[in-house]
Chains A and B, each alone.
Chain A
Amino acid sequence: MTGTVPSSRSAATDVDVRPSLDAPAVGFSPAPRVFGPLTRQMFVRYAGASGDMNPMHYDEFVATAAGYPSVFSQGMHQAALLATFATDWLGPSNVRRFQVRFREQVWPGDVLACAGVVTAVEERPDGVLVTVDLTCTRQTGGVAVSGGADFLLPR
């Protein structure tokens, strides 16, 4: 597993990736996390983990016969990577909503940067509800996936 984790991870982890009990302020943005370059093995691993066995994501013959230059990543794979960024930041148990919109295709060799920014902070009787905007951007600058999430942080 460690072989698939980019080296930028460790630096980010120590600084601000783990959930903080101090509610982040509106406008706060942690260090982005970079995934990739993406490999066909990653697509296959996601296909098996998710159960989405659409061959367009791992069978070169099927993908090229359909007119694509190669296989391409599952949109839900990018969504899962963006979710990893979000839960590393605000805590896996705290998530209450996670939404994505699929925008651009992602190809083998792509490098994805996942980033987020706090857009709202609301005091609730049961904690602090933090709303964030999330984006997963390709090395071209094109947005592969955009979305948002709510996390309920315990006091």
Chain B
Amino acid sequence: MSAPTGTVGTPYEYPVERGKIREFAIAAQSEAPEYFGPGAVIPPTFLTTASRWAPDGARVQVGFEQSRTLHGDQEYVFHGPPPRAGAMLYATERLAGRYEKAGRRGGTMRFAVVVTEFRDASGALVAESRATLIETAKPATAPTEESR
């Protein structure tokens, strides 16, 4: 089952937690004080933790075969300073696009772009995540970044 372009997942709450920021910054081997205070700011790739808050139905199903799926590209855009500890964000996934390319060794590579919008309580767009997933033409020899 492959969702069509434009499919939107169920919105969900995503609390930005100080302890999680600290844990993430340590895993990222950062000592920047901005990540460790009471008003800690999130590291640039921290929003990857949001999906752990996603309930059933919140994630868009791209329908790719897992053993052939790669995480090809990832982008985060912040429409202002990045969120800080204590913020409550509201996340919504959207299947933003699909396209195909010919594989280097024949066959067809399929691409899906999944955008997650992060809004505050007023509805203002705070940040966006844009993940490009690739289904290779043959079984992947490189890692599956995330199970989708």
CB nearest neighbor in B for A18: B32
> In the complex, A84 Cα to B29 Cα: how many Å?
7
Asked if A155 is an interface residue, CB under 8 A from chain B, the answer is no
B32 contacts which chain A residues (CB < 8 A)?
84, 87-88, 92
> In the complex, A52 Cα to B45 Cα: how many Å?
13
| Known A51-B49, A75-B71, A92-B43; contact A102-B145, beta-carbon cutoff 8 A | yes
Asked if B122 is an interface residue, CB under 8 A from chain A, the answer is no
> In the complex, A74 Cα to B74 Cα: how many Å?
13
The distance from the CB of A71 to the nearest CB of chain B, in whole angstroms, is: 10
Q: Are A87 and B44 in contact (CB under 8 A)?
A: yes
Q: Are A87 and B43 in contact (CB under 8 A)?
A: yes
Which chain B residues in 59-109 approach chain A with CB under 8 Å?
70-82
A75 contacts which chain B residues (CB < 8 A)?
71, 143, 145
B77 contacts which chain A residues (CB < 8 A)?
96-97
| Known A74-B145, A76-B145; contact A95-B28, beta-carbon cutoff 8 A | no
The answer, among B23, B27, B48, B73, for a CB contact under 8 Å with A101, is: B73
B23 contacts which chain A residues (CB < 8 A)?
48-49
Asked if A86 is an interface residue, CB under 8 A from chain B, the answer is yes
The answer, among B26, B51, B74, for a CB contact under 8 Å with A100, is: B74
**Interface of B, helix, strand, loop or mixed by DSSP:** mixed
Q: Are B44 and A83 in contact (CB under 8 A)?
A: yes
Number of interface residues of B (CB under 8 A): 40
CB nearest neighbor in A for B132: A101
Asked if B112 is an interface residue, CB under 8 A from chain A, the answer is no
A102 contacts which chain B residues (CB < 8 A)?
70-74, 142, 145
B26 contacts which chain A residues (CB < 8 A)?
1, 4, 45, 49
The distance from the CB of B37 to the nearest CB of chain A, in whole angstroms, is: 11
Asked if B24 is an interface residue, CB under 8 A from chain A, the answer is yes
Asked if A143 is an interface residue, CB under 8 A from chain B, the answer is no
> In the complex, A42 Cα to B20 Cα: how many Å?
16
A-B contact pairs, 30 of them (CB 8 A): A5-B29, A9-B31, A49-B23, A51-B52, A54-B144, A54-B145, A54-B146, A56-B144, A57-B143, A72-B143, A75-B143, A76-B71, A77-B27, A80-B24, A80-B27, A83-B43, A84-B28, A87-B34, A87-B43, A92-B35, A93-B34, A96-B77, A96-B80, A99-B73, A99-B76, A101-B73, A102-B73, A102-B74, A102-B142, A105-B142
